[in-house]
């Protein structure tokens, strides 16, 4: 019953128009195993690999509290952990989470997982690890790179599974990717499996009036008529 919240999220994060998500999908699943059954029920021209998405878990378990990025209680975290493990056991490759300020709804609301606490991530990581399969995948802005990486390393170590982290290069911090790669190498030398993931092309942005970005955003003259 919270699917509208997820539709609004994916409208912004991936610029998928709302009718595609509401009318183009059958929504004939609830659990992750149900979702895999729905995928298997019809043929596709491409192979499909799936991961258990943190945002969907958080909204499903916590509802509006999850959308508002409130801290998860121990019971919340335990239920998300159970569901993540259920998904991996059913066939998901792993669990994925976003800690990026760039992931927003079309209205500009931040992703529910942005400030998820270490205890929440650790509970999920341990549950995934207990299945003996899967991995953890994270995208983060690394605003405070040292403390963020240290936290993610602790989560990876607690899980006992591999963790993939998106590596960024910013003009303002041109050498930071080297530091992050160095920390990843050190983690691996210490027995904590981590790897850096790099896009094979520059990040692209779609522009249009029906999606989240256009060339006139922020201009007073456009703001005055945007609602029209």
Please give the residue that has the higher pLDDT: either 20 or 106: 20
Strands 94-99 and 135-140: parallel
Per-residue confidence band for 9, with pLDDT thresholds at 50, 70 and 90: confident
Segment 28-40, tens digit of pLDDT:
999 999 999 999 9
Which residue is associated with the tokens 């605003």? 143
How far is the C-alpha of 148 from the C-alpha of 103, rounded, in Å? 18
Structure tokens at 58: 């958080």
What's the number of CA atoms in the CB half-sphere (13 Å) around residue 18?
A: 11
pLDDT of residue 21: 92
How far is the C-alpha of 10 from the C-alpha of 111, rounded, in Å? 10
Share of the chain above pLDDT 90, in %: 71
pLDDT of residue 228: 85
Residues 135, 94 contacting (CB under 8 angstroms): yes
How far is the C-alpha of 184 from the C-alpha of 108, rounded, in Å? 32
Closest CA to 81 of 89, 147, 28: 89
pLDDT of residue 164: 97
| E strand map for 167-228 | 194-197
Q: Is the pLDDT of residue 221 over 80?
A: yes
pLDDT of residue 210: 74
Q: Is the pLDDT of residue 19 over 80?
A: yes
Please give the residue that has the higher pLDDT: either 205 or 90: 90
- Rounded mean pLDDT, 142-151: 94
pLDDT of residue 168: 82
Please give the residue that has the higher pLDDT: either 156 or 171: 156
Segment 42-87, tens digit of pLDDT:
999 999 999 999 999 999 999 999 999 999 999 999 999 999 999 9
Give, in degrees to the nearest 5, the angle at Cα 17 between 14 and 21: 90
- Rounded mean pLDDT, 221-225: 92
pLDDT of residue 106: 76
Q: Is the pLDDT of residue 192 over 90?
A: yes
pLDDT of residue 15: 80
Structure tokens at 84: 């993540």
pLDDT of residue 128: 98
SS3 207: coil
Residues 100, 111 contacting (CB under 8 angstroms): yes
Neighbours of 192 (CB within 10 A): 20
Q: Is the pLDDT of residue 204 over 80?
A: no
* Helix pair angle (3-13, 54-62), 10° resolution: 150
Give, in degrees to the nearest 5, the angle at Cα 170 between 195 and 192: 15
Per-residue confidence band for 145, with pLDDT thresholds at 50, 70 and 90: very high
Q: Is the pTM of this model over 0.75?
A: yes
């Amino acid at each position: 019953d919270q699917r509208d919240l997820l539709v609004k999220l994916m409208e912004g994060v991936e610029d998928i128009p709302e009718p595609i998500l509401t009318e183009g999908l059958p929504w004939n699943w609830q659990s992750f195993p149900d979702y895999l059954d729905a995928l298997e029920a019809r043929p596709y021209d491409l192979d499909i690999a799936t991961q258990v998405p943190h945002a969907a878990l958080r909204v499903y378990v916590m509802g509006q509290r999850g959308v508002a990025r409130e801290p998860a209680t121990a019971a919340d975290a335990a239920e998300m952990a159970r569901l993540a493990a259920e998904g991996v056991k059913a066939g998901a490759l792993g669990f994925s989470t976003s800690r990026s300020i760039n992931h927003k709804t079309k209205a500009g609301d931040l992703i529910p997982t942005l400030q998820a606490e270490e205890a929440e991530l650790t509970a999920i990581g341990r549950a995934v690890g207990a299945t003996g399969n899967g991995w953890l995948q994270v995208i983060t802005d690394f605003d405070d790179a040292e403390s963020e990486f240290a936290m993610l390393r602790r989560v990876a170590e607690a899980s006992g599974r591999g963790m993939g982290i998106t590596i960024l290069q910013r003009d303002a911090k041109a050498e930071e990717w080297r530091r992050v790669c160095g920390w990843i190498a050190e983690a691996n030398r210490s027995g904590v499996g981590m790897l850096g993931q790099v896009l094979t092309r520059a990040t692209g942005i779609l522009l249009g009036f029906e999606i989240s970005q256009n060339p006139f955003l922020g201009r007073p003259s456009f703001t005055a008529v945007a609602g029209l």
